[in-house]
Amino acid sequence: MRKYIALMTIAVLATSMVSSCGKTGTSGHKWQNSDTLNEWQMDLLEAQGLPTDIEQLTPSQKRSIQHIYEMINYLNEKYDEEFVYAGYVEPGVMDEETLYAYPKQFGAEGGKNTVEVTLDEKGNFTDTYSDMGVSSYLEKLIGDYVRGYFKSDEIGYHMTVNASNIKSMDEVKNGDFNWDIGVTNAFFFSDKCFKAEDFEAFVPQFAKWLYEHKIIATNNLRIVNNVDVKDVTYPNINKCYKYENLVYFFDLGINAKDIVITRSSDHKIEYYNTNEYVSKEIDCK
């Protein structure tokens, strides 16, 4: 289990959207060794109920507050925006030194926007931040398509980026993501307005749309009851996953080569070639 230092108040952090592969190196970045604290460091220490006098900190706390500042300052300077501290893991035998933060302009969203900063194999900073403008654009693009197809706002939706090689919107031309981004889409449909048959007509259309935009996606479509899906947000999404609230689910996975489909009606896993599946004649709604 990762050891969180006393410097932070432990928050519930979501699983990282893009996995970090960096390892602490022995060269590269040279840590500063200051005998003073700046205003940002003192504010963080005070917020955590720790001394703001550097002489009253333990050696571990002193090292950590200095490393935390350098890592978050790296993010601020690299992306020219302000990041907010969310957590820190000390380096150890089994643990990689890691800073957790999120961009202030997008907010934490219950951990959805968490960014990790670590050291790569050469000892230089590396991070998991990809342009939030890309993910925000894609989430809106997908959400608008699904709600527009059904002509309904009785649909809850959130997207998680699992991996991305896209750094900015400059790389996205005409909505083409070139199979360089992988996401998980979670859709929640009210049982008052939807039934299982609706998915049978929708999924082939949706698969074709994702294929045309070259988006790798795992899509979880769930009909739920006892939930106001319009009020679903990332932090309170757990109520949609409660077994007693599930009426029906339809899962669709798609990448450039394969499509995988599963339904709660029979739990049978179906595999298709992507090109063949999206080339089938389907009725347009």
Taken in order 236, 240, 116, 171, the sign of the CA dihedral is negative
| CA 259, chain centre distance (Å) | 22
pLDDT at 71: 97
pLDDT at 9: 39
Per-residue pLDDT of the chain (285 residues; tens, 9 = 90+): 333 334 443 332 222 223 333 344 446 788 988 899 999 999 999 999 999 999 999 999 999 999 999 999 999 999 999 999 999 998 887 788 999 999 998 888 767 788 899 998 888 999 888 777 898 899 999 999 999 999 998 898 888 888 888 888 899 998 999 999 999 999 999 999 999 999 999 999 999 999 999 999 999 999 988 888 877 666 666 777 777 888 999 999 999 999 999 999 888 999 999 999 999 855 444
Nearest in space to 157 (alpha carbons), one of 133, 132, 189, 199: 189
pLDDT at 234: 63
CA distances from 125 to 30, 72, 74, 235, 270 (A): 10, 10, 8, 29, 42
pLDDT digits (tens, 9 = 90+) for 134-159: 988 999 999 999 999 999 988 988 88
CA distances from 260 to 13, 145, 263, 276 (A): 29, 21, 11, 13
pLDDT at 204: 96
